[in-house]
A and B are shown apart, each in its own frame.
Chain A
Amino acid sequence: MTAASSRSFWAGMSQAFLWALLLSVGVVVVYPLLWMALGGFKSNSQIFEQPFALPLQWSFANYLSAWQGVQGYMVSSLLITVVSTVTTVFISAWAAFGLTRTPMPAKPLVTAIVLGGMMLSPTVALVPLVRMLQSLGLYDTHWALIILYTAFRVPFTTFLIRAYMLDLPRDLDEAAMMDGANPGQIFRRIILPLCRPIIMSCIVLHILFAWNEYLFAMIFTNNPSVQTLPVGLTSMMSKQGTDFAQVFAAMTISALPIVIIFFLTQRYFIRGLTEGIGK
């Protein structure tokens, strides 16, 4: 065996090993999801008797009845996720613009205070927050979660957008200023469009957070018409604890929007995060 062919043999082997490794990781990640989705098509008895087999018949009955059960929660989740995403990203982008582009006294201190919010544990703040929202009359409303999700995510989202904005050349602001643009126009027409990749990343990250958040949703909402999917799924599980097929179907339905959104936006998701911080 010559040196060249020996080298190509080992290169091929390492390539094959890499593929095998990636494939294994892929299976470990995807299989439970697939198993859950397939479980939704099975009968409850088949789940216990043949947990790893394909469904005997492809029936959407479980999905239809699960949909009946979760659609109220789905609407709440959608509403809270959409509104809190808009408010979080908008407030964070404005805050990042202020922190990076405007003359401001004690800017490092303000930046530290805003970003310091990332260190605040939600669990620690629970009791005062309950009192506060009760006294404001917001307890057990959609607004309670919208406000909390916005407040707790603004620091992190600001952190990401600020890092991205710091890399945008200042000449652009100055050129726009020479063109007669005021700070609002510079933000809206120059900086915001240029921040699209990181804004998209922040939107995806916030959707993931708001869609799956459990602690606040469980504490601050009681009424099923206000509760979100994670809380709704838990109550479904306790109500229909033995009907795993329907629970699986409901969980699949609740995960589906996130999976779709992630696949549609993963290009932005990865680019935004790497461009923003990785320079």
Chain B
Amino acid sequence: MAELRLRDIRKNYGTVEVLHGIDLDIRSGEFVVFVGPSGCGKSTLLRAIAGLEDISSGEFRIDGALMNDVAPSQRGIAMVFQSYALYPHMTVFDNMAFGLKIAGFRKDQIAARIRQAAEILQLTPYLDRYPRALSGGQRQRVAIGRAIVRDPKVFLFDEPLSNLDAALRVATRIEIAKLKQAMPGATMIYVTHDQVEAMTLADRIVVLRDGRIEQVGSPVELYRRPANLFVGQFIGSPSMNVLGGTLARTGPDTRVELDAGFTVAVPIPTEAAMQGQRVHLGIRPEDLRPCSTDPLFRATISLVEQLGEVQLTYLDLPGLAAPLIAKLPGHLDLHPGRDIGLTAEAANLHLFDRHENAIRPAEAGHKVAVPAE
């Protein structure tokens, strides 16, 4: 059981600042996932928590105790590395025993702990093997086992599935989810750039960009109520379609005149001061559906990717650099060149202001307060 508190965490490499003041509270027993594109600082933040990177400024506490200058091994943290980092010259048993031996545990205690962890991770038959004689998935389990035996307060996972093939990745992801269920008290922090891992594993997701937190929330919250355009596009696959436009009418019955040549009514109230301002309309591909009578817009299909259950339909719209994507049912007869009418539930439309922040019903008034350029 451990509660983590990060306050204004900054990390500099020389004059370059890569973490720009991270504030985050992680509750005891929580599974938190850091996601973001490459170079967003998620791994640096994880390594700072582990103690493998010094924190340039700010405070990091575990259960109230300041950890900034505490050695990695004294923080009660175990880490599973992306490369597994198993000691190649040691057997599975010795790999798992290494930390315990250093900590001065008795042989019988070490054996008991390893036996228990090996049973949980189904590694018992492999304890005498060397890492080179194991498959990728087994190595990953050894790496997790090495973390478990130390009975840490916090588990850190640094992109642990990225070296596995697609099928094994799914299987190991499920194992990690089961592991979390079996250890409800353990606080886990998981870094990934794979949003499926983030959505399926996390209690809360932390989306990072350029060393800053963009949004913290539950997977559904991030999906349904993205705080800004970046989060909206980052969460969800294929990513959210974004259409540029101008606020043609404000008030409770907001209307957006899109560059693509049609007008959309959005049930998000806007302030009169926003009249004429540039906005972005977000529509998720899965929220679009075909509609022959009174569609939101009509477009020509440029490409269809048939996935069986669904088909990803790429549509050309005037004024859009990239094609608009719609995730439509697999049984529909769709082919390039066909003209199709599409619509979406008004409740599923997302509106972002010119600063790319979400305009939400409850926050509309607040958003208007942003000074004009």
Contact = CB atoms under 8 A, between A and B. Distances in A.
A172 B87 CA distance: 7
Contacts of B146: 175, 179
A193 B88 CA distance: 10
A180 B99 contact: yes
Contacts of B79: 174-175, 178
Interface string B134-161: 0000000000001000100000000000
A175 B79 CA distance: 8
A181 interface: yes
Interface string A145-177: 000000000000000000000000101101111
A178 B78 contact: yes
> Most chain-B CB neighbours within 10 Å: which of A172, A174, A180, A196?
A180
Contact of A190 (B52, B87, B99): B87
A229 to B, nearest CB: 36
Interface string B276-291: 0000000000000000
A174 B85 contact: yes
A174 B85 CA distance: 8
Contacts of B237: none
Contacts of A181: 73, 98, 102
Contacts of A171: 81-83, 85
Interface string B53-93: 00000000000000000001100011101110111110000
A174 B98 contact: no
Interface residues of B, number: 21
A178 B72 contact: yes
Secondary structure of the A side of the interface?
A: helix
Nearest to A189: B98
Contact of B102 (A174, A179, A193, A196): A179
A176 B98 contact: yes
Contact of A175 (B77, B81, B89, B103): B81
Nearest to B156: A178
A194 interface: yes
B243 interface: no
Contacts of B78: 178
Contacts of B85: 169, 171-172, 174-175
A235 interface: no
> Most chain-B CB neighbours within 10 Å: which of A175, A177, A180, A194?
A175
B50 interface: yes
A185 B86 CA distance: 16
Interface in A47-77: none
B224 to A, nearest CB: 37
Given A175-B86, A194-B89, 17 more contacts: A169-B83, A172-B85, A172-B87, A174-B81, A174-B85, A175-B81, A175-B146, A176-B98, A178-B52, A178-B73, A178-B78, A178-B99, A179-B99, A181-B73, A181-B98, A189-B98, A194-B88
Interface of B: 50, 52, 72-73, 77-79, 81-83, 85-89, 98-99, 102-103, 146, 150
27 contacts: A169-B85, A171-B81, A172-B85, A174-B79, A174-B85, A175-B81, A175-B146, A177-B72, A178-B52, A178-B73, A178-B77, A178-B79, A178-B99, A179-B99, A179-B102, A179-B146, A180-B73, A180-B99, A180-B102, A181-B73, A181-B98, A181-B102, A185-B102, A189-B98, A193-B89, A194-B88, A196-B89
